[in-house]
Amino acid sequence: MDEFVYRGILYELYGGILNDKQKKVYMLHNNYDLSFSEIGDEMKVTRQAAQTLFKAADLKLKKIDEELKLSQKFFEINKYANDILTKSRDKKIASLARKIINLT
């Protein structure tokens, strides 16, 4: 899986456990593709401090996911819903599968 996508999903699932600075640096780097120098300028910290904040946040999110495995469940549910959508001829079932996919 693409690391960028994985990090986005981790943030959606667990971002609430990060402190405000970690959230901001994680969002700016992962979602807006800013460099750590640009983030440092934006947050009035050094490039090194921005990178350290990001690494700490990334590690925290990955550790919690190793324990809870919600990202794995997320992908499995999405895969099953896509399978149902492509194999179902029943419009109601296909509609429900689309709703599940849109949630994930």
What is the pLDDT at residue 48? 98
Whether 28 has a pLDDT exceeding 80, the answer reads: yes
Q: What is the pTM of this model?
A: 0.79
Reported confidence tier of residue 4, pLDDT bands at 50, 70, 90: confident
Q: Where are the domains of the chain?
A: 1-68, 69-104
Reported confidence tier of residue 2, pLDDT bands at 50, 70, 90: confident
Q: What is the pLDDT of residues 49-88, one digit of tens each?
A: 999 999 999 999 999 999 999 999 988 998 999 999 999 9
Q: Please give the residue that has the higher pLDDT: either 95 or 1.
A: 95
What kind of fold does domain 1-68 have according to CATH? Arc Repressor Mutant, subunit A (1.10.10)
CB 22 within 8 A of CB 60: yes
Provide the b/e sequence for 2-14 (b: ≥16 CB within 10 Å).
Answer: eeeebbbbbbebb
Determine how many CB atoms are found less than 10 A away from the CB of residue 49.
16
Tokens of 64: 């919690």
Q: Please give the residue that has the higher pLDDT: either 1 or 30.
A: 30
What is the pLDDT at residue 34? 97
CA atoms within 13 A on the CB side of 57: 27
Give the Cα separation of 32 and 89 in Å (integer): 40
What is the pLDDT at residue 104? 73
